[in-house]
Chain A
Amino acid sequence: MAEAHTNPVESRKIDRSQMTVSDEIAIEITNMNKWYGTFHVLRDINLTVNRGERIVICGPSGSGKSTLIRCINALEEHQKGQITVDGTLLSSDLKNIDRIRSEVGMVFQHFNLFPHLTILENCTLAPIWVRKVPKREAEETAMYFLEKVKIPEQANKYPGQLSGGQQQRVAIARSLCMRPRIMLFDEPTSALDPEMIKEVLDTMIALAEEGMTMLCVTHEMGFARQVANRVIFMDQGQIVEQNEPEPFFTNPQNDRTKLFLSQILGH
């Protein structure tokens, strides 16, 4: 099944001219720990993300991948350690949290579009109310990004009238309208039918080609192989292995990684 998903990605020539990793640090996580009650979900996470990196995080369910990226924009609170995003230390200060959130875009598994607003309103809401962009300008920006995700003609429809793939592309455009410097993807294709996965992955590839810093929790190994510059494997709340995609897939070191890869690729 995973192989089937990778075909559309591989069929496309990827333009790597702007995919450059700079020395500037975008996210720095040091000794981060998180508990749900007494359950230790994230254990001693250390991760530095440079600007321009495209990181794919994979691992079995319950391994803490989603929790990890949700900690980065404070949807989940971590109890120990430090997270610095774009030079801002994530603390309980609401102003810091709101600043980080407006710099970090997030795409969810279930899209989470606002069903009572049109596609255009979904995209202009945050720029208007958070960034204080004039309405007309926000609408122009929104149309620009809707064209980028190839659905400008749906601008005046409601989310309920769109297919899953279209909704997810709108969700990506909605995040982009805030002009984020970092994008987080939390299993963006897991709730989609196979034929819709391609359109969303295409959008994500296009984003990567423009040099966006991306952290993707996904099981799309074809995407990881083609686009990522680093693949992280997590298990039981820890980072077990990380490497460039080629050695990661062809020569995994850890036994857990080997088992996971054989399960997800070997059929």
Chain B
Amino acid sequence: MSEAHAHSVAYVRDTMLPQAAPPPGETGPLRWMRENLFSSIPNAALTLLSIYFIYTILAAILPWMLGGIWDAGSLTECRAIRDERGLETAACWAVINERWLQLLFGFYPIDSPLLARLFYADELAAAGGMEAVFGAGSNATARIEFVAQMRADLGNLVVFFFGYWRPLLALALLVVAVAPVLYSSLPRKMLVFSLAYPFVAVFLLWGGTIWGPMLVALGILLSLGVLRVVAGETNALLGMLAGILVALMIFLNPLAFTDLGLFPLLPHVKAMLDSALPLGLPAIDSADFGGFMLAIIIGTSGIVLSLPLGILLALGRQSSMPLIKWVCVSFIEVIRGVPLIVWLFTASLLLNYFLPPGTDFDLLLRVIIMVTLFASAYIAEVVRGGLAALPKGQYEAADSLGLDYWKSMRLIVLPQALKISIPGIVNTFIGLFKDTTLVVFIGLRDPLGLVNAIRATGEWNGIYWELYVFVGLMFFIFCFFMSRYSMYLERKLATDRR
């Protein structure tokens, strides 16, 4: 320390300064604007240019959107109203107003008997009562007329809440089932319902006898139970074999060549229970599914199924066993190297050639399987990136503590690798959800397919912006939620940073 400094070191403060307000113009929006918008001449010029740009776009869109016409029966009426009001442009939202149910559910049938009983009792009585209108021997033409009249009289909202209660309930339960998976603060016991949900959803959406989904669930439980018991008594391999054998006896026929007629067990038990206690909902064919319901069904199933499959593929690709590694690598490369639309055509057309004759394999199910496989190849690569980003020391520390392969993967490696991969995984999921629109090309009525159907009608021929804006908005809402959720998850799991 220099001499000069040594003299000035001694100093004692006797009064503390009170906190003072900053000088005017140094806080608040003015300061923010000066710092962020007009800090220099080029910056100010860019700001003004951007404001002008945004203004031009909004000036073009807003009058069209906000001045839209909501009440009209057809595009011609819409145009007449627009001219009458003297508007230059106006969106014809009337098409959404009239057809939003169709965009949401496609041609999924409404529960007409329920609607009639709840809201249309007098007219139902006038038409001859429940049995006469909806009974087995009723006149189809008269029934269709009755239902059409009822829909027109009741209005879209009532039909939405009560006519489509099955898909709506399935959606509400989906939220309940997904919530504990997404948010760990919810009670863990709710996960039991998450596991049961697929069967509940299948029953609600497709209907038919309740025994079908229940027996499938029981069959899976039974196979897993046998697997556990046998694996506990002997070893893992025998347990696996026993489990698979039981599953085969229940779901397929392991002795196909013998033609005993005893296996698979499931249809026999189902028929027995169904005749003893017929419980169920009216069955609905996959071909009637459509709209956003279809997109959500394919999207959610794809997302839920592709994540575990993708993780297994990623682990397989890193495996030290050459055969497993080779199978996983070829699967990933082949699936990823071919466009999804080709796989969808394969699902809809080619698959029938490879399946045994007489196999009736639901098209929707085939599409879900293809979308799942496609997404899982991408997920596998994203997860592989996460696995590779993990320091080798983490594997070694897990090994040195005596954790076996699956435990170290489950407890140490995957939680960290998946956390790293969240942005990539959600990216893949968003892509998958939007790609469900591709099923329009194989004849499924997804939202875009319905837009085409609506535009093909006499009333709405020639309209397109409004419908596509609506469809785009719906997709945006779902994708935006996924994106926000992934950011929430990243923040929540960021424990390794200070």
Contact = CB atoms under 8 A, between A and B. Distances in A.
Are A and B associated in one complex?
yes
Interface of A: 73-75, 94, 98-99, 101-102, 104-106, 108, 110, 112-116, 125-126, 129-130, 158-161, 174-175, 178
Contacts, number: 73
A130 B401 CA distance: 8
B393 A98 contact: no
A113 B407 CA distance: 16
A159 B396 CA distance: 17
Interface stretch (B28-36, B199-207, B260-268, B409-417): B409-417
A160 B498 contact: yes
Contacts of B399: 73-75, 101
B259 interface: no
Nearest to B398: A114
A75 B403 CA distance: 13
A115 B400 contact: no
A interface secondary structure, majority = mixed
B495 interface: yes
B497 interface: yes
B403 A129 contact: yes
B97 interface: no
A102 B398 CA distance: 11
A98 B415 CA distance: 22
Nearest to B412: A114
B22 interface: no
Contact of A101 (B402, B412, B496): B402
A125 B419 CA distance: 19
B401 A158 contact: no
Given A130-B402, A130-B403, A114 B397 contact: yes
Nearest to A177: B401
B495 A125 contact: no
B402 A178 contact: yes
B138 interface: no
A208 to B, nearest CB: 20
A53 B402 CA distance: 23
B491 to A, nearest CB: 14
Given A116-B416, A126-B401, A160 B396 contact: no
A108 B394 contact: no
Contact of B493 (A73, A105, A113, A116): A116
21 contacts: A73-B400, A74-B399, A75-B396, A98-B402, A98-B404, A99-B402, A101-B402, A106-B397, A108-B396, A110-B393, A112-B394, A114-B397, A116-B419, A116-B493, A116-B496, A126-B403, A158-B496, A161-B498, A174-B401, A175-B401, A178-B401
Interface size class of B (residues with CB under 8 A): 20 to 34
Contact of A115 (B396, B401, B495): B495
Count chain B CB atoms within 10 A of each CB in A94, A101, A108 and give the residue with the most.
A101
Nearest to B416: A116
A94 B396 contact: no
Interface in B375-396: 391, 393-394, 396
A125 B398 CA distance: 10
B393 A101 contact: no
A161 B497 CA distance: 8
Nearest to A184: B400
Interface of B: 391, 393-394, 396-404, 407, 411-412, 415-416, 419, 493, 495-498
A230 to B, nearest CB: 23
B402 A112 contact: no
Contact of B396 (A105, A112, A175): A112
A114 B400 contact: no
Contacts of A99: 402
Contacts of A178: 401-402
Count chain A CB atoms within 10 A of each CB in B398, B402, B496 and give the residue with the most.
B402
Q: Which 4 A-B pairs have the closest CB atoms?
A: A102-B402, A115-B496, A112-B397, A112-B393
Given A112-B394, A158-B496, 5 more contacts: A116-B416, A125-B411, A129-B407, A130-B402, A174-B401
Contacts of B397: 106, 108, 112-114
A159 B416 CA distance: 14
A119 B426 CA distance: 30
A112 B398 CA distance: 9
Nearest to B415: A116
Count chain A CB atoms within 10 A of each CB in B400, B402, B404 and give the residue with the most.
B400
A114 B498 contact: no
Nearest to A105: B400
A116 B403 contact: no
A106 B496 contact: no
A125 B407 CA distance: 10
Contact of A94 (B398, B404, B412): B404
B140 to A, nearest CB: 62
A168 to B, nearest CB: 13
Contacts of B407: 129-130
A158 B497 CA distance: 9
B468 to A, nearest CB: 43
Given A114-B412, A115-B416, A125-B411, A75 B496 contact: no
Contact of B393 (A94, A108, A125): A108
Nearest to B402: A102
A159 B391 CA distance: 15
A160 B495 contact: yes
A10 to B, nearest CB: 31
Nearest to A127: B401
A120 B498 CA distance: 18
A114 B394 contact: yes
Contacts of B401: 101-102, 125-126, 130, 174-175, 178
B446 to A, nearest CB: 39
B404 A75 contact: no
Nearest to A98: B402
A158 B492 CA distance: 13
A162 to B, nearest CB: 10
A129 B411 contact: yes
B101 to A, nearest CB: 46
Contacts of A174: 401
